[in-house]
Amino acid sequence: MDAQLVYIGLAAAFGLFMAWGIGANDVANAMATSVGSKALTIKQAILVAAIFEFAGAVLAGGEVTSTIRKGIVDADLLIGMDDGPRLLIYGMLAALLAAGTWLLIASRNGWPVSTTHSIVGAIVGFAAVGIGVDAVQWGKVGTIVMSWVVSPVTSGFIAYLIYRSVQKLILSQDDPLAKAKRYVPVYIFLAAFTITLVTILKGLSHVGLTISVRDSYILAIAIAVAIALLGSFFISRIEADPKAEKKQHFVTVERVFGILMVVTACGMAFAHGSNDVANAIGPLAAVVSIATSGEIGAKAALPIWVLALGGGGIVIGLATFGRHVIATVGKKITQLTPSRGFAAELAAATTIVIASGTGIPISTTHTLVGAVLGVGMARGIEAIDLRVVARILVSWVVTIPAGAVLAIIFFFLFKTVLP
Amino acid sequence: MANMLANIFGSSPVRPLEKHIDVAFRCAKKLRPFVAAAIEKDHKRMAEVRGQIEALEHEADNMKKEIRLHMPKSLFMPVPREDLLELLLVQDKIANRTKDVSGVIMGRKMTIPEPIAEKFLEFVDSNIDAAKQARKSVRELDELFTAGFRGAEVDLVTELIEELDQIETKTDEQQTKIRSALFEIEKTLDPIDAIFLYEVIALTGEIADMAERVGRRLELLLSH
């Protein structure tokens, strides 16, 4: 049997494993915010995630996939080597298996880890030790690691600004409900506009569509207005419940924000798909491309089945395991009411989509945590446990060497065992 | 399975604080049937209500401990943790004072002399009103957190606290009147009983004092 087929088969299996892990954990985190604030039921959340993860991966996931595939390992160096293609295949297989395994170990033990950090650590690990320190594009890796610091901070800052504006325009007013009905459609427009625009500007070229910048803006505005109008329709149907209002003045206001949160939940799933699906399919795409063409750096389009496998794996992970995670997390984050949850989600989704457009793999969960802290800074969250935030920082640092070490072990294993 | 997103949320003290003052108020409210029974010298009823007061005070106490337990120093909150703990403490004292008043009356098998009975009952009612207003104010806590301690909600709570202050002033005036009424008849009473009647009046008035201090604590939260 062809070695080619073995490679592709293994890569597909490991990629599916990784995608499953992402769906079970990462996506669940992204969707739990909406479930926790009761904007969506678990079933609806899974449906939204399935559709928009897939759309995000296909429409806007190209840049990050290409970074994972060929941005970290220096292909030029490998082209000059006799067994270069083979080494890269072993390495990508090892990276996938290492990141997947580490995710499994970590979630078993309840350690908060990021899929992005695992896979980048794993790729850097096999390249630096298995091939040579020069095989890593350190400049690019440096940019990625910097972005892991910058992205939570940025999304925290955006979340702070958004939530402050919500407080100022709506929550601190005499008639918050009337104000919410007036301003929430504007937020819906902003959310839809940002995500659509970045997708059109950065993503669509990967599916073979080219639209001029001017047309992109017009199209984004048109889509966003349509979504905002649809949102306004649903908002206009919300009526105050005086009995519930008496107990808690913001009940109906929060229901208005609930509509907004459905939109940001879609945005969040889309953003996640555009960034994190690449963690599973980037290495897979690399293996497929080398195995079929026999050389590194062949100009080949991403086969559609690779994308489908990534998207499918995530949906399976979400449906099998992720729903429990959504349920547990959702129950625990009731403090994140729609008015706060939307601010966090919109900030995180915007940050992630921009990163996806630039081809930088970042951690969805960390970005979301940063956004939640941002809302907290605006005095929006009742209580945040700083010990847990510190623990997240630690796991942030530990995950990279852990992914790297596992990848190195698997790399040498594959080098001996595989043809 | 631990999850980093879920766990960054500490347990919020806001709802528990609202529940706590509810129990403290319900405890204070029992003082009315208790004193009414004391005036009618219905000892069986007194013992029954006294039991209810003790149970509620105990419940408030347990809630207080529970809330404290879930407020570690590592919590990052929009208002200082110390201020919330102080608020909890004065809320709890509403129940404590109620228990003290009923304890003294019960323990000394006291009766309320007929000439001051009506005034005393009114005085008790006003103190309960103060506790009720304190509860109403604290119940706005979650709205205050949502609004980020800004704007219309702050004005609303400020108004509630002003009303609370007025009720407390009223209890002070009633207290002065009761004292002078008691002074008029104190020669006709057993001296030790008279001393303890003054004591009971003072203790009862402290319920409104504590309610007022709840208002002061809330005000401190608003000023951050």
Q: Write down the pLDDT at residue A127.
A: 85
Residue B176 has pLDDT above 90, yes or no: yes
What are the chain B neighbours of A172 within 8 Å (beta carbons)? 147-148, 150-154
Q: Write down the pLDDT at residue A204.
A: 66
What are the chain B neighbours of A173 within 8 Å (beta carbons)? 151-152
Contacts for B201 with CB less than 8 Å, ≥ 6 apart: B120, B123, B175, B178, B179, B182
- Are B10 and A249 an interchain contact pair (Cβ–Cβ within 8 Å)? no
Residue A33's pLDDT band (cuts 50, 70, 90): confident
Q: Write down the pLDDT at residue B1.
A: 37
Nearest-CA distance from A267 to chain B in Å?
18
Q: What are the sequence ranges of the domains in chain A? A: 3-417
Whether A290 and A89 have beta carbons less than 8 Å apart is answered as yes
Whether B20 and B91 have beta carbons less than 8 Å apart is answered as yes
Tokens 């992914």, located at residue? A403
State pLDDT tens for residues B139-169.
Answer: 988 888 888 888 888 888 999 999 999 999 9
Q: What is the mean pLDDT of residues A240-245?
A: 72
Phi, psi of A385 (to 5 degrees): -90, 110
Comparing CA positions, the residue from B206, B141, B208 lying closest to residue B170 is: B208
Residue B101 has pLDDT above 90, yes or no: yes
Give percent above pLDDT 90 in chain A: 7
Nearest-CA distance from A173 to chain B in Å?
5
Q: What is the mean pLDDT of residues A242-257?
A: 76
- Report residue A85 as tokens: 């293609």
Please name the residue of chain B whose CA is at the shortest distance from the CA of residue A167: B147
State pLDDT tens for residues A199-232.
Answer: 777 666 666 667 777 888 888 899 899 999 888 8
- Are B3 and A339 an interchain contact pair (Cβ–Cβ within 8 Å)? no
Q: Write down the pLDDT at residue A86.
A: 79
**Is A383 near chain B, with CB under 8 Å?**
yes
Give percent above pLDDT 90 in chain B: 63
State pLDDT tens for residues A190-199.
Answer: 989 988 887 7
Contacting A residues, span 31-50, partner chain B, CB-CB under 8 Å: 32-33
DSSP per-residue letters across A324-388: HHHHHHHHHTTTS-HHHHHHHHHHHHHHHHHHHHHT----HHHHHHHHHHHHHHTT--S-EEHHH
Q: What is the mean pLDDT of residues A63-69?
A: 82
Residue B2's pLDDT band (cuts 50, 70, 90): very low
Q: Write down the pLDDT at residue A248.
A: 67
Tell me which residue in B4, B74, B148 faces A112 most closely, judged by beta carbons: B4
Helices (H), B41-185: 43-69, 81-107, 114-138, 141-146, 152-185
Q: What is the mean pLDDT of residues A144-167?
A: 91
Q: Write down the pLDDT at residue B64.
A: 94
Q: Three-state DSSP class for B76?
A: strand
Q: Is A132 exposed, middle or buried (0-12, 13-18, 19+ CB in 10 A)?
A: middle
Q: How far apart are CA B4 and CA A325, in angstroms?
A: 11
Q: What is the mean pLDDT of residues A168-179?
A: 85
Contacting A residues, span 354-373, partner chain B, CB-CB under 8 Å: 365, 368-369, 372-373
**Is A338 near chain B, with CB under 8 Å?**
no
Q: Write down the pLDDT at residue A112.
A: 66
- Higher-scoring residue by pLDDT: A209, A236: A236
ipTM: 0.79
Q: What is the mean pLDDT of residues B195-213?
A: 93
Record the pTM: 0.85
Report the 10 Å Cβ neighbour count for A13: 16
Residue B31's pLDDT band (cuts 50, 70, 90): very high
- Are A112 and B146 an interchain contact pair (Cβ–Cβ within 8 Å)? no
Number of Cβ pairs < 8 A linking chain A and chain B = 127
Q: What is the mean pLDDT of residues B28-38?
A: 93
Q: How far apart are CA A277 and CA A56, in angstroms?
A: 9
State pLDDT tens for residues A113-155.
Answer: 788 888 888 988 888 887 877 778 888 888 888 888 899 999 9
Instruction: Classify residue A204 by its DSSP letter.
Output: G
State pLDDT tens for residues A364-392.
Answer: 888 988 998 999 888 888 888 888 888 87
Give the C-alpha distances (Å, rounded to integers) separating B144 from A167, A246, B10, B86. 11, 15, 18, 17
Nearest-CA distance from A383 to chain B in Å?
5
Residue A247's pLDDT band (cuts 50, 70, 90): low
State pLDDT tens for residues A324-357.
Answer: 778 777 777 777 888 888 899 899 999 988 888 8
Specify the fold of B12-222.
Methane Monooxygenase Hydroxylase; Chain G, domain 1 (1.20.58)
